[in-house]
Amino acid sequence: MKVIYIVLGSISLCLGVMGIFLPLLPTTPFLLLSSILWFRGSPRLYKWLLNHKRLGPYIRNFMENKAIPLRVKVISVSLVWLTLLYCSFFMSGNIWLATLFIVLAIGITWHILSYKTLSK
């Protein structure tokens, strides 16, 4: 069972890292899932993830404060809107699909802004 946790945690980590660069793929939930899976499967990988220079703060900030830094909120919401507006106007070709993209952007924005802002 530990091997399954490690493999699933690794897949989740890959998705979380991709989420840093792809606006529709969330980063923090996948990193949190990786930490949970690795906590059960490999304490060494769990410690590595929490102490990672770039990825650790995402997890620690959310686990300790249930908050997202303002910079991350601004970047996330901006990228979501840029991507989905582009898709809506230039890629969809269908009014219902374009509307779905806008509704999706509103939902993602609401979700991101529903978390407290982490003050540093």
Judge whether residue 11 has pLDDT over 80: yes
Ranges 23-32, 43-52, 74-83: which has the least confidence: 23-32
pLDDT band at 52 (very low <50, low <70, confident <90, very high): very high
The answer for residues whose C-beta is within 8 angstroms of residue 62's C-beta and 6 or more apart is 28, 32, 68
How far apart are the C-alpha atoms of 83 and 85, rounded to whole Å? 6
Q: What is the pTM of this model?
A: 0.66
Judge whether residue 12 has pLDDT over 90: yes
